[in-house]
Structure 1
Amino acid sequence: MFAVIRNVGINRKTVFRLLAFILVFSFRTFAADERNLLQKSADVRRLDQTLILHQKWVTYPVYTDRAGWDKMTGSLKTSLIKKGEENLNYTWQKITASGYLEFERSGSRLGQEEPFNTNTVAFNHLVVAELAEGKGRFMDKIIDGVWFFCEQTSWASVNNLFVMTKNRPPRSLPNPDEAILDLVVGDMSTLLAWTHYFLTEPMDNVNPLISQRLRHELQRRILDPYMQRDDYWWQALKPTQTFVNNWNPWCNFNVLACYMLLENDPQKLAQAVARTMQSVDKFINYNHEDGGCEEGPFYWDLAAGKLYEYLALLHQATGGKVSIFDQPLIKNMGEYIVNSYIGNGWVVNFADAPAKVYKPAGMIYRYGKAVNSVPMQKFGAYLARQSPDYVNCSCHGSGRDLTRTLENLRTWEEVEKTPGALSTPPYSWYPQTELCFMRSGNYFLAAKGGHNGESHNHNDVGSFILFYKNKPLLIDVGVGTYTKQTFSNNRYGIWTMLSHYHSVPNINGISQKNGRKYRARNVRFDSAKKTFSLDLAEAYDSAGVQQWNRSFTLQPDGVGLVLRDAFVLGEVRVNNQFHFMCARPPDITEKGVVAFWVDGERLTLQYDPLLFLAEAEPIDLPDKRMSNVWGSQIYRLRLTALKTASKGTYSFTVTALK
């Protein structure tokens, strides 16, 4: 779980209830198909024979190769150096004990996270500037940073310190006797391992103790713990560990990078690389063959995207002798990011995701090249033209991802020469993940089946979003700023998680429940008719529903969307109710018609006025994470049935009127 985990209490019983909830909520069990693609491609013995030692696999120029760096940075050199110059007088931000303890006291991680991230951004810019310029002008500041980080007790994020501690009640202060290997430790280790690789000589010219100390810290913080422990949940190395998500490829990529940059003993290196392959296979097994990312485009970067970077490094470190880029699953996982892009910066955003997200242009291009996907290559080139500063990138804003920056520098001219284009297939169907995206005329529809125990779940089986001319009409709100409640057992007290704040019905007065057993059934897609259908009955507990067949059809002539709900109830208690989450104010003055305006065009949602009463309410969005996407308000449209019925069919149509 990349997301922040918060808790204000320190009572032992409360803590372990939280830990149990996190595991049950966040992950699902492995897929039944144990593909083990990596382990089948090479064992320790083969790795011992194929791994390229002594960092001879690195394709970047060495620090002293000024002509090489000039060629690699090209016209970007001046801007990269300028970012370093802006940090020559940077003051390293201290993280106090009270900054850590604030997590326990108020649930906020900002006391630890803000100064830490500010430091990593400054350090990254300084290292890149020194590599680009090569005059030693930034070395004193870099050495200060190296020593500063080495003096820190832990590089782990405070929320992960709290939940990953071993054999004691969790607390937020780092324990110097325990190595916590989380996402942030991994990122920092790789950033510092590259620093060690490139800049050992200029550091040694000042004092050899600097690089020796850095090498020692990397050994004890990442290399040794990874091989000595098998109880980091994201490793999934124990038979009883059946949970995995984006943490797995993300952490394993960093472990692989550090071993390849730091370890030159052939046997130790082969054993470590084999261990990462065993672990990453668990993530690959976890994913459906269709390649759909249940964590959505926001987390794709750190799930499928990090898997690509892991596989690319493994390919490079073995001279291409260990590679699974020819597997259809790997290509399918990559192309999800293209298919889930709507246009104008908007993406399909079910679950914990904003509808506009950071998209790593260079990595998408390189992933596409590795799996021979032209749509991905063109999409990456398109995104690069939308974000010309993408080269000196950051990983979700953290500023720690030096590897991706180096790769962007290596390929930026190639990306610029590639024609940028959007792939707009008429439909994308993910039969195992149960996601369907469709286009017809000016309309884009995304709808989902699945279950309510998915990673970063909202109770949203049967929910959908609808865009017109790449502008939002009916939406998934997404999620607000993470708080201590977001990943606690009170998660479903947050309104954005609840089904009645998604475009799904309340049946017999009952909303959907959370949990894996609350799921869709009979999920189908008819590409000829452009119809996606599913039965929602099992998503509702105690609603007395026998069947609730929902279908979405995009009219072939581009007229609009037809939504039908055919139902059979075993008992009737209260009137059924439909919800539609709206990006624009709905006008309900005309009976049977809900009107919306999109750039001067009138769109209507039509319903039977003899069957429903329409109501609309504005919802204020004081949370900046949501208001930055939607503005200060969204709207919820409610259509309440005027009478009860044990069976029937409801129909709604969305049409644009000229």
Structure 2
Amino acid sequence: MNISLILLFLIFFSIHYSTSAQRDFLAASCIQEELREMLVMDQKWVNYPDYSNREAWNNLLGNHKVSLIEKGEEYLDYKWQVVRATDYLDYSRTGNRNTMQDPYFDNQDALSALLLAELAEGKGRFLDQIIDGVFVSCEMTSWVLSAHFKISAKKIKNHFPDVNENLIGLYSSQTGAMLSWAYYFLNKEFDKVNPLIAERIQFEVKKRILEPYMNMNYWWTALPPYAKNKPKVNNWNPWCNANVLQCFMLMENDKEKLAEAVYRSMQSVDMFINEDKDGACDEGPGYWGVAAGKMFDYLDLLEKLTSGKVSIFDKPEIKAMAEYVYRANIGNGWVVNFADASAKSSGNPYFIYAFGKAVTSQDMMNFAAYLKEENPETTVAYKRDIDRTLRNATISKELEHTEPVFKVPSFSWYPKTEYCFMSNPQGLFVAAKGGYNLENHNHNDVGSFMFYVNATPIFIDTGVGSYTAKTFGPDRYSLWTMQSNYHNVPLINGVAQSPGAKFKATNSSFNKNKKTFTTDISKAYPEQAGVKSWTRSYQLKKDGLSIKEKFSLTKTIEPNQLNFMTWGEVNLGKPGEILVTARNEIVKLLYDENQFEATTEPIALTEKKLSKVWGNTIYRLTLKAKSMDMVGKYEFVILKV
């Protein structure tokens, strides 16, 4: 083979490899010119009734009509709030996000409820309040949260809105989408009061969403110039893109402009899908609804806009992302909560059913029916999300006629994210992870685990408290909830894990026949830990969990210690045996009394976000090695009593 042919082969191989690695499902489905011809124009894609068609609304909403109206009635006398300048400034001054967010979210909750109530009733009773809510929103300098001004390209010293800069963030795009739906459904009713109302919505959505999306680059789009630096794509991408797409679909009727905007969004959402490794949501199930879930919103809208011509719901990668929500569910509302997600997450059954139906996952649809049966008061209403609420209503009857079934899968293995979930018929469940310490919403927790008995948490991941400036700033890892010392991992030579992409697990593997997950966590620790290798192995057995540690150190400085975070009360009992009691479940932790000394300490939970999940106190159980060995093995056994 001559050199020219070799070069040609290498070029072909590199192109093929790059294409397959990047997926690009959406952009590869058509070019922009083809997309333009697929578009369903002038909002004819909308499959919800016109405002005036009362019979159709009654059929659509069914028995949900009353609850939507009742919720709207709660806001008939609502006093619209002004978000003051000092509310924004408080984030820079104290790190408190809620000072600005609370009045803003209260207003948006009110507007959403009033709009849905008016669509349900159709008598104009809520119209004046809706107009006031629209006006208050339009009068705001910015729809961006004070905590989110960091998305600006400018060097903003304090988190304050700039009238000359229209940024697009999570909630600014959400407000734009809600106002766009208000315009679509009620513009004729607004005109009866004053034509300037509808005109103002058009003006503000165009200025704040449509124009900046096409004329600015945001980090979350992951498009050039950010794409050159291979940005880390997270849930901002589908969340913002889904909202922005609604704005364009509802407000832009120029075919060329719409095609350009939609294709740009397709290229952007491809970056989120490309980032996905194996379907797992590393931000946790609590974020799934605004990560993979927002991707579903986007793909569903795109499918409608193109009459099904652009649809990728048949891709197994999309189905894997969808099914994570039930695979990470343990039962009784408990979920696998690595990273910032809460250990409690209910999930909206209507939304989960709709996503499951789109990817033809019967397991998801049955799981959704199970959630509805567990929480029969759950409504179709999705806070501040008109599109989700109305789509939920369209599948409500189907959900009601679906058999409620939820059985925890015997295992779920995500080889790239390095998440491993295992369960058995005896009611035991373990989740363990490898990963690295720069995942989305990361905690330093490489090698950590959680253990449940009959859907009752025993050994836990605490989660995170209320978000402040410190949560996402340079002092993030000064928070105890982020540190490895407060996760179920070792303290090696007196040294904890470090944050950063290079601090990671290696050689992670899962044996489904032996129900064993193994990972080397040595590289999650900095050099001063002096650790050459530290292999941690979890094996789920019929009566309990076996945890084995095999290590090799380059030096000994301090005795190693193994930390276990527990929800239940700890009884040290006799040496070599520790009882942990949570609710009505009891487990026994067995260890070598010749190797370790056991101590325990209560940890008071002063953060409401944590205490509402765990109560006022959790415990940290510590097993401290009695000798300092360069090479060694530890073994712990957790038995159900």
Q: TM-score range by the shorter chain?
A: over 0.9
Q: 1:109-148 maps to which residues of 2 (within 5 A)?
A: 109-148=97-136
- Asked if the contact 1:236/1:243 (under 8 Å) is kept, the reply is no
- Asked if the contact 2:606/2:616 (under 8 Å) is kept, the reply is yes
Residue 601 of structure 1: CA displacement? 4.9
Residue range with higher mean Cα deviation, 420-429 or 323-332: 420-429
Q: 1:257-336 maps to which residues of 2 (within 5 A)?
A: 257-288=246-277, 290-336=278-324
Could you tell me which runs of 5 or more consecutive residues in structure 2 were left unpaired when the two chains were aligned.
1-17
Partner of 2:88: 100
Residue 615 of structure 1: CA displacement? 0.5
Q: 1:24-63 maps to which residues of 2 (within 5 A)?
A: 33-63=21-51
Cα distance in 2 between the residues matched to 1:186 and 1:330: 24
Greater RCO, 1 or 2 (C-alpha within 8 Å, sep 6+) = 1
Give the partner amino acid of 1:517. Answer: K
Tell me: CA distance 1:167–1:472, structure 2 relative to 1, closer, same or farther (3 Å).
Answer: closer
Residue 105 of structure 1: CA displacement? 1.7
Tell me: CA distance 1:459–1:168, structure 2 relative to 1, closer, same or farther (3 Å).
Answer: closer
Q: 1:443-482 maps to which residues of 2 (within 5 A)?
A: 443-482=428-467
- Asked if the contact 2:221/2:269 (under 8 Å) is kept, the reply is no
Partner of 2:65: 77
Residue 235 of structure 1: CA displacement? 4.3
Partner of 1:27: none
- 1:227-265 Cα deviation digits (max 9, x unpaired): 011244444332334221000000000111111111111
- 1:302-325 Cα deviation digits (max 9, x unpaired): 110000110111111111000111
Partner of 1:550: 536
- 1:510 to 2:495 alignment: yes
- Asked if the contact 2:420/2:432 (under 8 Å) is kept, the reply is yes
- 1:533 to 2:518 alignment: yes
Could you tell me which runs of 5 or more consecutive residues in structure 1 were left unpaired when the two chains were aligned.
1-29
Tell me: CA distance 1:32–1:490, structure 2 relative to 1, closer, same or farther (3 Å).
Answer: farther
- Asked if the contact 1:31/1:285 (under 8 Å) is kept, the reply is no
Residue 600 of structure 1: CA displacement? 4.6
- Asked if the contact 1:191/1:401 (under 8 Å) is kept, the reply is yes
- 1:387 to 2:375 alignment: yes
Report the secondary structure of 2:598's partner residue. strand
- Asked if the contact 1:391/1:409 (under 8 Å) is kept, the reply is no
Give the partner amino acid of 2:187. Answer: T
Residue range with higher mean Cα deviation, 385-394 or 100-109: 385-394
Q: 1:219-258 maps to which residues of 2 (within 5 A)?
A: 219-238=206-225, 239-241=227-229, 242-258=231-247
Report the secondary structure of 1:533's partner residue. strand
- 1:176-212 Cα deviation digits (max 9, x unpaired): 1110111111100111101100001111111111111
Residue 392 of structure 1: CA displacement? 4.4
Q: 1:624-635 maps to which residues of 2 (within 5 A)?
A: 624-635=608-619
- 1:177 to 2:164 alignment: yes
- 1:550-579 Cα deviation digits (max 9, x unpaired): 100011xx2100100011112222211100
- Asked if the contact 1:81/1:129 (under 8 Å) is kept, the reply is yes
Residue 128 of structure 1: CA displacement? 0.7
Partner of 1:366: 354
Report the secondary structure of 1:123's partner residue. helix
- 1:310-345 Cα deviation digits (max 9, x unpaired): 011111111100011111110000111110000110
- 1:562 to 2:549 alignment: no
Partner of 1:10: none
Residue 599 of structure 1: CA displacement? 4.6
Report the secondary structure of 1:486's partner residue. helix
**TM-score, length-scaled by structure 1:** 0.92
Cα distance in 1 between the residues matched to 2:177 and 2:22: 30
Give the partner amino acid of 2:395. Answer: T
Cα distance in 2 between the residues matched to 1:589 and 1:321: 66
Query: How many residues were matched structurally?
Result: 620
CA RMSD of aligned residues (A): 1.5
- Asked if the contact 1:452/1:460 (under 8 Å) is kept, the reply is yes
Report the secondary structure of 1:586's partner residue. strand
Residue 226 of structure 1: CA displacement? 0.3
Tell me: CA distance 1:149–1:383, structure 2 relative to 1, closer, same or farther (3 Å).
Answer: same
Partner of 1:437: 421
Q: 1:618-657 maps to which residues of 2 (within 5 A)?
A: 618-657=602-641
Partner of 1:189: 176
Residue 393 of structure 1: CA displacement? 3.2
Residue 358 of structure 1: CA displacement? 4.2
Residue range with higher mean Cα deviation, 466-475 or 91-100: 91-100
Partner of 1:206: 193
Alignment counterpart, residue 573 of structure 1, candidates 543, 554, 557: 557
Tell me: CA distance 1:42–1:416, structure 2 relative to 1, closer, same or farther (3 Å).
Answer: same
Partner of 2:154: 167
Residue 136 of structure 1: CA displacement? 1.1
Percent of residue pairs bearing the same amino acid type: 45
Residue 530 of structure 1: CA displacement? 0.4
Cα distance in 1 between the residues matched to 2:218 and 2:159: 19
Cα distance in 2 between the residues matched to 1:620 and 1:505: 22
Partner of 1:484: 469
Cα distance in 2 between the residues matched to 1:637 and 1:231: 45
Partner of 1:8: none
Give the partner amino acid of 1:81. Answer: I
Residue 545 of structure 1: CA displacement? 1.4
- Asked if the contact 2:235/2:290 (under 8 Å) is kept, the reply is yes
**TM-score, length-scaled by structure 2:** 0.94
Partner of 1:13: none
Residue 113 of structure 1: CA displacement? 1.0
Tell me: CA distance 1:167–1:520, structure 2 relative to 1, closer, same or farther (3 Å).
Answer: closer
Partner of 1:7: none
Partner of 2:8: none
Cα distance in 2 between the residues matched to 1:109 and 1:46: 44
- Asked if the contact 1:31/1:286 (under 8 Å) is kept, the reply is no
Cα distance in 1 between the residues matched to 2:630 and 2:276: 39
- Asked if the contact 1:584/1:634 (under 8 Å) is kept, the reply is yes
Cα distance in 1 between the residues matched to 2:566 and 2:154: 48
Cα distance in 2 between the residues matched to 1:601 and 1:626: 21
Cα distance in 2 between the residues matched to 1:148 and 1:132: 23
